[in-house]
C-alpha cells in the first residue's frame, strides 16, 4: 500500500512538473522570513509590513534608491524656492513652516472613492490622539495644524524648521470613509480597524496592487488594483510567502515554490547568499546592497577600562575588519568608519581610519597602563585583568561568528573577552536599556541623513531616575557633538549642513563612542528572468517601485 | 471507579488553574517586551513612544493585577484579544488548531500503521535477523534530530528532485484535496520517521512480556499454532500497553510540532505557541497552552482508565 | 534471593551476551575518552582549536587538518572533540540531575501514598504540560548571581551548559518519577520491607536503605536512555537559538549552524549529525542492554530463541 502510494505520488509529481506555465508569467511569488503583523500602516510598524504595504499603497514622500527625497503620493516636493513652503512666526518667538502638498489627481482607493484631503485630516486626527496606539508619533507631534484648500491640496503647519521640512514622514493615509466608524472610540481603534477585521477590502488600498487573501502566519496574496493611477504592473498576482527557516527558504527557491527572496526581510546572510550564488548562479542572480543597518559595538563608556580612549582605539586597531569583510562577506559589507553610510550624500572619507595594526594596538594598551601578564592577559598596576564582557543576540549566526573572531583576535593583544549571548528581547529590553554591558554587538536602523540625537546626545542617557528613556546607552558626553547635533537640525543650507556633518563624522571617529564595524547588506536572490528590482538600501522598500518589475521573457524557465 | 474518575477530574481542574498562573507568571517574567525591539528597528521611534505604547497595552501594570483581570475574564469565557493576530484569541486559534490536528492526526495514524506491525514482526522471532533489523531501525528513529531529517527530506525531494512542495499548506489558488495532500507528505513523513521507533519498541516489549507468561505456555502445550497464539492471545493482552501509549500521546495532537512546522512553513499550534510566547501575547499563549494542558490531562486520565479497564489486576485506591 | 556477588556476576554475564549493547558501551567510552583527551590531541597536532583563521575557512581535508576546517578556519576534528565533551557532559549531567529529582519524588509518592501521592502525581502531570520555551527564556535572562551562584561561575561561558542542565532537572524528572513510584508501590508489599517496618525502622531509613537499592535497576536503565534524549533536546534548543552558546562548541550547535552552508559544505553538518546519531543510538542500545541484563522478566522470552 505504501509502495503504491509512493508510485502514485511520483507520477503526480512528474505530471505537475511538466505542466508548468508557458510564456510570460502572470504571478510572482516572493519569499520572506517574517510574516507582517496587523496591516494598519500606522500601528506597530515593522519592515515586513512596510514591504507588503509598499505594493498596495504609497507614502506621501519617500527616499528612492539614490537616496533622494521624491514625491510619491504628492505631485511636487514643496520647498522655499518654489514657494510651496513659507516661514511662519509662531506665538512664542519660534519659527515654524507652512508646507503645501497636492495629492496625485488620479489617486483613488480601490473601491472607487478618490484619495482626498478628507483622508489627510482624518489621518491627522488618528495620529495625534495618544490613545490610538500609533507607533511613530514624532511626525504627528510636530504638526500644529492642517488646512484643506480643496479636495486634493492641503497645508501643513509644523512647529519647527529643520532640514527635514519637505518630508512628511510616517504620515500614512487612512481611508476616512472606511475607518471613521472604527475610530468612534479611539481607545479601541486598533482592535476595530478594518485593516485587521476586513483586510481584503479593496477600499483600504490605492496602490498598484490590493490585498485579496491573507492566511495569518503563512502568506499574503495581492492582485492588480484597477484604480491605480500609475504604470500598470507586469504581474497579475503577487504572493508573499513566509518561510522562517532560511535553509528551508533556499530549498523553496530551488524547488520553485517561490521565485525570489526579498532582501529587506529575507534574512539571508551575505555568507549564505554568496554560497548560493556560487552553486546556482546559472538560474539566479544575487544582488547585495549595503543597507542602513549600522552594525557596531556599543561601548559602555562608564566602564573604567573603556573610558580610556586609547583602549578603544587599540581594540579597533587590533580587529582585522578588512579581512572579515573580504573573507566572511565576500567584500559586500565594507568597513564603516562612522555612523554615516557611504551612499549618504553627507558622507566624507576625511576622518580618522583604523586599519589593522596589532602592533600599534599593543603599544597603545601598554601606554594605557595595561601590561602583559604571565598567562598572556594584560593587567594594570593594581593587578586587575583586562577582561571585558561582550553581549550580543543569540541565534544570530553571523553575530556568533563575529564575536568569536573578536575574542580570538583580541586575545592576541592580551585582552580577555567573555561572550554573553542573550535573546534579542533580553539584550534590548534589559541589558542595553539599563546599560548593563561592557561591549554589546548589535545594529540599529538608520535613515538617510538621520541625525543621531537619541543615540549620541548627552541628555539622552538612560538612567534609573528617568525611567531608562533615551538611547544613548553608551553614556557619551561630548559638548561639541551636542552642539553639532543641535545645529545640523536647523541648518537648511545644504553646503553648510554638509560641512557640519563632516565635522560630526570626524568627532565620531576621533572620540569613538562606539566601535564601528560595517553596514549590513541586504541580499536579494532573484531569478534571471526578473528585471527592474532596485534595492534601495534605506527604509523605503523596493516594493514601492513594483510597477517597474517585469519578466524579461527571454530567459528559459 | 467512578469516584476515582470524579476525584481525578477535580484534581485536574486544580492543576489547570495552577498552570494558568504559572504560565502567566513565566511569560511575565521574561524580561523585555517586543516593543523594546521596535526601538532598534525604527529610527523615528523614541523611548517616550515606547513608554506610551507600553502604558496603552497595560504592560506597565503589576503582574498579579493583570493575571487577576485575565482570570476573571477567562472564567466568564472571555479569553481576550490576541496582540499578534489582532482578533479574539480563541478565533485566532481555530485555524492553526485544525491544521495541527490534521498534521498530527495523519502522522499519528501513519506512525501506528508502521510501528505496530513492525513491533509484532519483531516479537514473533526474538533475536532473529528481522528482530535485529527492526530494533536497529527503531533505535535509529528515536535517535534522529527531527529538524535534521526534515531538512534532508526537503533538500532531496523538493529542492533536488522537485517532486513535492518544500512547504506551506497549499498552493496559491489551490487548496483542493490532492493539493493539500501533497503538501502534507513531507512533514508527515518527517514526523513518522522520528516517532515510529518508540511505538514499535513498546509494541515489541509489551508482546514479549506477555509471551513469557504461563497461559501462553499452556496454549502452546495444548497445540495452538504460533500465529494464533501471537495474534489471538498475546496481542489482545498486550493491547493494554499500546492503548496506554496511544492515549498518552493523544495530548500531543493539539500542541503541534514546533520544529516541523517551522521547517515546513506550516502554521500550526506549535508555531503559534512559540510566536505567542515570544511576542508576549499573553491572551493567545494562555488560551493555546491551556488547551494543550487540558488535552494532556484528559489523555492521561483516559490512559489510566483504559489501562485499568484492560488489566483487571490494577486497582485504584 | 541470590547473594549480591553472584547477582552482579549474573548481570554482567547477561550484559556481555548482548553484542550491540557491549559495542555501544565501548563506543561511548572511546568517544568520552577522546573528548576528554582533546587538549592532548590538540597539542600533538600543534593546533589551537580556538584560534580563528579567516584565510582558511571551510577548507577541505589536509595534512594539517585531517577533517578540514569550519567556517572560522578552526580545525574541524578538534571542534568535534570539544563539542563531544560538551554534548556528552550535558547529556550525562542532565540525565543524572533528572534521575536524582525523579527518584526522590517517585520514592516519596510511592511510599507515602494518599494525599502526598496525589499531589505529586498531579504535579507530574502539570510539569509534563509545562511549556519549555518561556522557562528557557526566563532561565536565559535570570542573572545567575541572584540565584546564589558565585560570580566566576555565573559569568563563565559554561553558563549556557548549566542552564540546560537546570532545565532538564526541572522538567525531565517525570519519567523516572513514574517508574520509581510504580516500582516502590510493588516493593513495599514485599516481606523484607514489611519486616523492616515492623522492626521499627523510620520511613526515611526504609526508603533509603531497603527500597532504594532495589530500584537501582530501573533507575539505571531510565538514566541511560535519557542521556540520548537530553543530547537530542540540546540540538533542538540550538536550532531555536537557545542552546549552547559560543565559544562553547556542541554537536547540536554545530549542526544547527551548518544549515546555512549546507549546499556548499555538507561535511560541516554531516559530522556532528552523524556523531549525535551514533551517540544517541549507542545510549539507547546500552540502556536496552542494561534493561535486558538487569530485568528478570525478559529472561524467559530470550530463552526461546
Q: How far, in whole angstroms, is CA C204 from its chain's centroid?
A: 28
Are B267 and A217 within 8 A, CB to CB? yes
- B63: CB partners within 8 A, 6+ apart: B24, B25, B28
The predicted pLDDT at position C303 comes to 41
pLDDT digits 0-9 by tens, B77-135: 889 888 888 888 999 999 999 999 899 999 999 999 999 889 888 888 877 888 889 98
**Cα–Cα nearest to A514, from A420, A439, A457:** A439
* Residues from A in contact with C at Cβ < 8 Å: 245-247, 250, 269, 271-272, 275-276, 278-279, 320, 323-324, 327-328, 389, 394-397, 400-401, 403-405, 407-409, 418-423, 425-426, 430
- C261: CB partners within 8 A, 6+ apart: A271, A272, A275, C58, C71, C268
Provide mean pLDDT across the span B57-75: 87
Question: What is the Cα Rg of chain B in Å?
Answer: 24
ipTM of the complex: 0.84
Query: Which of B139, B250, B256, B299 best tests the C interface by mutation, with the highest count of C CBs <10 A?
Result: B139
Half-sphere exposure of C192 (CA within 13 A, CB side): 9
Give the gap in angstroms from C-alpha B273 to the nearest C-alpha of chain A: 12
The predicted pLDDT at position A193 comes to 92
Provide mean pLDDT across the span B62-77: 90
- B166: CB partners within 8 A, 6+ apart: A243, A248, A251, A252, A254, A255, A257, B154, B158, B159, B186, B264
**Cα–Cα nearest to A187, from A46, A45, A43:** A43
Give the gap in angstroms from C-alpha A107 to the nearest C-alpha of chain B: 27
- A71: CB partners within 8 A, 6+ apart: A60, A61, A77
Measured CA angle at B275 (ends B272, B277), to 5 deg: 105
Integer Cα distance of A72 and B18 in angstroms: 55
Whether chain A has a CB inside 8 Å of the CB on B92: the answer is yes
Count Cβ atoms within 10 A of the Cβ of residue A544 and give its class: 0-12 exposed, 13-18 middle, 19 or more buried: buried
**pLDDT score of C207 more than 80:** no
Percentage of chain B beyond pLDDT 90 is 15
Q: By CA distance, what is C270's nearest residue in B?
A: B148
CB contacts, 8 Å: C264 with chain A = 275, 278-279
The predicted pLDDT at position A22 comes to 45
The predicted pLDDT at position A18 comes to 46
DSSP C245: P
Are A401 and C72 within 8 A, CB to CB? yes
Residue pair C86/C161 in contact by the 8 Å Cβ criterion: yes
Which chains lie within 8 Å of chain A at 3 or more CB pairs, if any? B, C
Q: Residue holding cell 520514592?
A: C107
The predicted pLDDT at position B310 comes to 67
Integer Cα distance of B81 and B89 in angstroms: 5
The predicted pLDDT at position A555 comes to 47
Measured CA angle at C290 (ends B148, C255), to 5 deg: 15
C-alpha cell at A138: 514624532
Measured CA angle at A476 (ends A470, A479), to 5 deg: 105
Give the gap in angstroms from C-alpha B47 to the nearest C-alpha of chain A: 5
Integer Cα distance of B113 and B313 in angstroms: 29
Give the gap in angstroms from C-alpha C56 to the nearest C-alpha of chain A: 9
pLDDT string in tens for chain A (557-residue length):
567 666 665 555 555 544 444 456 889 999 998 888 789 998 877 888 999 999 999 999 999 888 889 999 999 999 998 989 999 998 888 889 999 999 999 999 999 999 999 999 999 999 988 888 888 888 888 899 999 999 999 999 998 888 888 888 889 999 999 999 999 998 889 888 999 999 999 999 999 999 999 988 889 999 999 999 999 999 999 999 999 888 888 888 888 889 999 988 877 888 888 888 888 889 999 998 888 889 999 999 999 999 999 999 999 999 999 999 998 898 989 899 999 998 888 999 999 999 999 999 999 999 999 999 888 899 998 889 999 999 999 878 889 999 999 999 999 999 999 998 888 888 888 888 889 999 999 988 888 888 888 889 998 898 888 878 788 999 999 999 999 999 998 888 889 999 999 999 999 999 999 999 999 888 999 999 999 999 988 888 999 999 999 998 754 44
Grade residue B311 by pLDDT with cuts at 50, 70 and 90: low
Prior bond of A11 cis (ω within 30°)? no
Look at C64 and A176; give whichever has higher pLDDT.
A176
Average pLDDT, chain C: 81
**pLDDT score of C192 more than 90:** no
C-alpha cell at B123: 516479537
Whether chain B has a CB inside 8 Å of the CB on A436: the answer is no
Which residue of C240, C247, C262 is in closest CB contact with A247?
A: C262
DSSP letter string over chain C? ---HHHHHHHHHHHHHH-HHHHHHHHHHHHHHHHHHTHHHHHHHHT--TT---GGGTT----SS-TT-B-TTS-BHHHHHHHHHHHHHHHHHHHHHHHHHHHHHHHHHHHHH-HHHHHHHHHHHHHHHTS-HHHHHHHHHHS-TTTTT--HHHHHSTTHHHHHHHHHHHHHTTHHHHHHHHHHHHHHTTSHHHHHHHHTT--HHHIIIIIIHHHHHHHHHHHHHHHHHHHHHHHHHHHHTT-SPPTTS--HHHHHHHTTTTTTT-THHHHHHHHHHHHHHHHHHHHHHHHHHHH-GGGHHHHHH-
Which residue of B34, B165, B169 is in closest CB contact with A425?
A: B34
DSSP letter string over A329-341? HTT-SPBPSSSS-
Are A139 and B32 within 8 A, CB to CB? no
The predicted pLDDT at position B186 comes to 93
pLDDT digits 0-9 by tens, C91-148: 999 999 999 999 999 888 888 888 888 888 888 877 877 777 667 767 766 655 555 5
Are C133 and B259 within 8 A, CB to CB? no
Count H helices and E strands in chain A, helices first.
20, 20
Are C264 and A279 within 8 A, CB to CB? yes
pLDDT digits 0-9 by tens, C139-191: 766 655 555 566 666 556 777 888 888 888 888 898 888 888 888 887 777 77
Count Cβ atoms within 10 A of the Cβ of residue A487 and give its class: 0-12 exposed, 13-18 middle, 19 or more buried: middle
DSSP A113: P
The b-or-e profile of A12-42 (16+ CB within 10 A means b, else e) is ebeebeeeeeeeebeebbbbbbbbbbbbbbb
Residue pair B194/C236 in contact by the 8 Å Cβ criterion: no
Q: What are phi and psi of A166, to 5 degrees?
A: -80, -25
DSSP letter string over B15-50? HHHHHHHHHHHHHHHS-S-HHHHHHHH-TT--HHHH
Integer Cα distance of A253 and A260 in angstroms: 7
C-alpha cell at B51: 513608554
**pLDDT score of C229 more than 80:** yes
Amino acid at each position: 500500500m505504501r509502495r503504491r502510494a509512493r508510485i502514485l505520488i511520483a507520477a503526480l509529481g512528474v505530471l505537475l512538473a511538466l505542466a508548468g506555465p508557458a510564456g510570460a508569467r502572470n504571478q510572482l511569488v516572493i519569499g520572506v522570513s517574517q510574516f507582517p503583523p496587523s496591516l494598519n500602516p500606522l500601528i506597530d510598524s515593522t519592515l515586513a509590513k512596510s514591504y507588503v504595504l509598499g505594493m498596495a499603497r504609497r507614502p506621501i514622500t519617500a527616499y528612492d534608491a539614490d537616496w533622494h527625497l521624491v514625491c510619491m503620493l504628492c505631485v511636487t516636493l514643496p520647498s522655499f524656492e518654489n514657494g510651496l513652503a513659507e516661514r511662519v512666526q509662531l506665538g512664542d518667538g519660534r519659527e515654524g513652516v507652512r508646507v503645501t502638498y497636492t495629492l496625485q489627481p488620479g489617486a483613488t482607493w480601490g473601491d472607487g472613492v478618490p484619495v482626498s484631503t478628507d483622508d489627510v485630516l482624518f489621518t491627522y486626527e488618528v495620529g495625534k490622539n495618544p490613545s490610538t496606539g500609533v507607533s511613530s508619533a514624532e511626525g504627528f507631534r510636530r504638526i500644529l495644524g492642517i488646512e484643506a484648500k480643496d479636495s486634493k491640496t492641503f497645508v501643513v503647519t509644523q512647529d519647527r524648521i529643520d532640514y527635514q521640512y519637505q518630508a512628511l514622514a510616517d504620515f500614512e493615509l487612512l481611508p476616512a470613509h472606511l475607518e471613521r466608524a472604527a475610530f468612534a472610540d479611539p481607545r479601541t481603534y486598533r482592535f476595530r480597524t478594518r485593516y485587521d477585521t476586513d483586510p481584503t477590502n479593496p477600499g483600504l488600498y490605492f496602490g498598484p496592487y490590493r490585498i485579496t487573501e491573507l492566511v495569518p502566519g503563512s502568506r499574503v496574496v495581492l492582485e492588480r488594483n484597477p484604480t491605480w493611477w500609475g504604470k500598470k504592473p507586469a504581474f497579475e498576482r503577487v504572493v508573499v510567502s513566509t518561510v522562517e527557516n532560511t535553509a528551508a527558504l533556499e530549498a523553496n527557491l530551488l524547488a520553485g515554490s517561490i521565485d525570489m527572496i526579498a532582501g529587506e526581510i529575507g534574512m539571508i546572510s551575505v555568507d549564505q547568499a554568496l554560497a548560493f550564488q556560487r552553486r546556482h548562479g546559472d538560474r539566479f542572480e544575487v544582488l547585495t546592497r549595503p543597507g542602513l543597518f549600522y552594525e557596531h559595538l556599543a561601548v559602555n563608556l562608564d566602564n573604567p577600562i573603556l573610558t580610556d580612549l586609547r583602549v578603544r582605539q587599540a581594540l579597533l586597531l587590533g580587529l582585522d575588519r578588512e579581512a572579515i569583510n573580504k573573507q566572511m562577506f565576500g567584500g559586500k559589507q565594507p568597513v564603516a568608519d562612522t555612523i554615516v553610510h557611504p551612499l549618504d550624500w553627507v558622507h566624507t572619507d576625511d576622518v580618522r581610519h583604523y586599519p589593522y595594526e596589532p602592533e600599534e594596538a599593543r603599544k597603545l594598551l601598554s601606554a594605557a597602563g595595561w601590561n602583559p601578564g604571565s598567562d598572556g592577559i594584560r593587567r594594570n598596576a593594581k593587578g586587575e585583568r583586562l577582561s571585558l564582557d561582550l553581549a550580543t543576540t543569540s541565534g544570530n549566526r553571523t553575530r556568533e561568528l563575529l564575536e568569536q573572531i573578536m575574542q580570538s583576535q583580541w586575545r592576541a593583544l592580551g585582552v580577555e573577552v567573555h561572550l554573553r549571548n542573550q535573546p534579542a528581547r533580553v539584550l534590548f529590553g534589559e541589558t542595553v536599556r539599563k546599560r548593563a554591558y561592557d561591549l554589546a554587538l548589535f545594529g540599529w536602523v538608520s535613515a538617510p541623513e538621520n541625525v543621531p540625537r537619541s543615540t549620541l546626545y548627552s541628555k539622552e542617557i538612560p538612567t534609573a531616575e528617568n525611567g531608562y528613556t533615551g538611547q544613548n546607552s553608551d553614556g557619551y558626553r561630548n559638548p561639541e557633538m551636542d552642539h553639532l547635533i543641535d545645529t545640523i537640525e536647523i541648518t537648511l543650507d545644504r553646503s553648510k549642513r554638509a560641512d557640519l556633518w563632516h565635522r560630526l563624522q570626524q568627532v565620531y571617529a576621533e572620540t569613538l563612542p562606539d566601535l564601528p564595524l560595517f553596514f549590513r547588506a541586504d541580499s536579494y536572490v532573484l531569478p534571471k528572468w526578473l528585471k527592474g528590482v532596485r534595492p534601495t538600501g534605506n527604509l523605503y522598500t523596493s516594493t514601492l517601485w513594483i510597477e517597474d518589475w517585469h519578466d524579461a521573457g527571454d530567459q528559459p524557465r | 471507579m467512578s469516584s476515582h474518575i470524579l476525584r481525578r477530574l477535580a484534581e485536574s481542574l486544580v492543576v489547570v488553574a495552577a498552570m494558568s498562573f504559572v504560565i502567566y507568571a513565566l511569560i511575565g517574567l521574561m524580561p523585555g517586551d517586543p516593543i523594546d525591539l521596535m526601538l532598534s528597528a525604527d529610527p523615528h521611534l523614541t523611548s517616550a513612544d515606547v513608554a506610551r505604547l507600553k502604558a496603552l497595552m497595560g504592560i506597565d501594570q503589576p503582574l498579579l493585577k493583570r493575571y487577576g483581570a485575565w482570570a476573571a475574564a477567562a472564567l466568564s469565557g472571555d479569553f481576550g484579544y490576541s496582540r499578534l493576530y489582532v482578533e479574539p484569541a480563541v478565533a485566532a486559534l481555530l485555524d492553526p488548531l485544525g491544521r495541527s490536528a490534521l498534521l498530527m492526526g495523519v502522522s499519528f495514524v501513519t506512525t501506528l500503521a508502521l510501528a505496530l506491525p513492525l513491533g509484532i514482526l519483531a516479537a514473533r522471532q526474538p533475536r532473529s535477523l528481522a528482530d535485529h533489523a527492526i530494533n536497529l531501525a527503531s533505535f535509529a528513529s528515536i535517535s534522529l534530530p527531527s529538524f535534521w531529517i526534515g531538512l534532508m527530506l526537503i533538500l532531496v525531494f523538493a529542492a533536488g528532485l522537485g517532486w513535492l512542495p518544500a512547504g506551506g499548506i497549499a498552493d496559491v489558488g489551490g487548496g483542493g484535496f490532492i493539493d493539500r495532500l501533497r503538501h502534507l507528505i513531507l512533514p508527515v513523513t518527517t514526523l513518522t520517521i522520528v516517532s515510529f521507533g518508540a511505538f514499535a519498541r513498546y509494541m515489541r516489549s509489551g508482546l514479549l512480556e506477555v509471551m513469557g507468561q504461563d497461559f501462553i505456555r499452556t496454549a502452546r502445550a495444548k497445540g495452538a499454532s504460533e500465529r494464533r497464539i501471537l495474534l489471538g492471545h498475546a496481542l489482545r493482552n498486550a493491547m493494554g500497553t499500546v492503548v496506554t501509549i496511544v492515549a498518552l500521546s493523544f495530548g500531543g495532537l493539539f500542541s503541534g510540532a514546533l520544529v516541523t512546522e517551522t521547517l515546513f512553513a506550516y502554521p500550526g499550534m506549535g508555531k503559534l505557541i512559540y510566536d505567542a510566547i515570544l511576542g508576549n501575547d499573553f491572551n493567545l499563549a494562555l488560551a493555546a497552552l491551556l488547551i494543550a494542558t487540558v488535552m494532556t490531562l484528559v489523555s492521561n486520565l483516559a490512559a489510566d482508565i483504559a489501562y485499568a479497564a484492560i488489566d483487571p489486576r490494577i486497582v485504584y485506591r | 534471593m541470590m547473594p549480591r556477588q553472584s547477582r552482579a556476576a549474573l548481570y554482567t554475564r547477561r550484559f556481555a551476551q548482548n553484542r550491540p549493547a557491549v559495542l555501544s558501551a565501548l563506543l561511548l567510552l572511546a568517544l568520552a575518552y577522546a573528548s576528554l583527551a582533546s587538549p592532548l590531541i590538540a597539542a600533538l597536532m600543534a593546533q589551537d582549536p580556538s584560534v580563528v583563521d579567516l584565510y582558511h575557512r571551510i577548507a577541505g581535508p589536509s595534512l594539517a587538518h585531517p577533517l578540514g576546517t569550519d567556517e572560522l578556519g578552526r580545525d574541524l576534528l578538534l571542534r568535534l572533540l570539544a563539542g563531544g565533551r560538551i554534548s556528552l557532559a550535558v547529556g550525562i549531567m542532565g540525565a543524572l540531575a533528572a534521575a536524582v529529582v525523579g527518584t526522590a519524588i517517585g520514592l516519596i509518592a510511592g511510599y507515602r501514598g494518599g494525599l502526598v501521592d496525589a499531589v505529586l502525581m498531579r504535579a507530574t502531570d502539570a510539569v509534563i504540560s509545562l511549556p519549555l520555551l518561556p522557562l528557557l527564556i526566563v532561565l536565559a535572562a535570570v542573572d545567575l548571581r541572584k540565584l546564589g551562584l558565585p560570580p566566576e561561575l555565573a559569568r563563565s561561558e559554561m553558563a549556557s551548559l548549566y542552564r540546560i542542565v537546570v532545565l532538564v532537572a526541572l522538567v525531565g524528572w517525570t519519567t523516572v518519577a513514574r517508574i520509581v513510584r510504580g516500582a516502590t508501590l510493588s516493593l513495599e508489599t514485599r516481606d523484607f520491607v514489611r519486616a523492616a517496618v515492623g522492626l521499627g525502622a523510620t520511613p526515611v531509613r526504609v526508603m533509603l536503605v531497603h527500597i532504594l537499592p532495589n530500584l537501582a535497576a530501573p533507575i539505571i536503565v531510565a538514566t541511560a536512555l535519557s542521556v540520548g534524549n537530553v543530547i537530542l533536546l540540546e540540538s533542538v534548543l540550538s536550532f531555536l537559538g537557545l542552546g549552547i552558546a559560543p565559544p562553547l562548541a556542541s554537536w547540536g550547535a554545530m549542526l544547527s549552524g551548518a544549515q546555512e552552508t549546507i549546499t556548499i559544505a555538507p561535511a560541516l553538518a554531516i559530522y556532528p549529525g552523524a556523531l549525535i546519531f551514533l551517540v544517541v543510538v549507542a545510549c539507547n542500545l546500552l540502556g536496552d542492554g542494561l534493561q535486558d541484563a538487569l530485568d528478570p522478566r525478559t529472561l524467559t522470552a530470550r530463552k526461546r530463541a
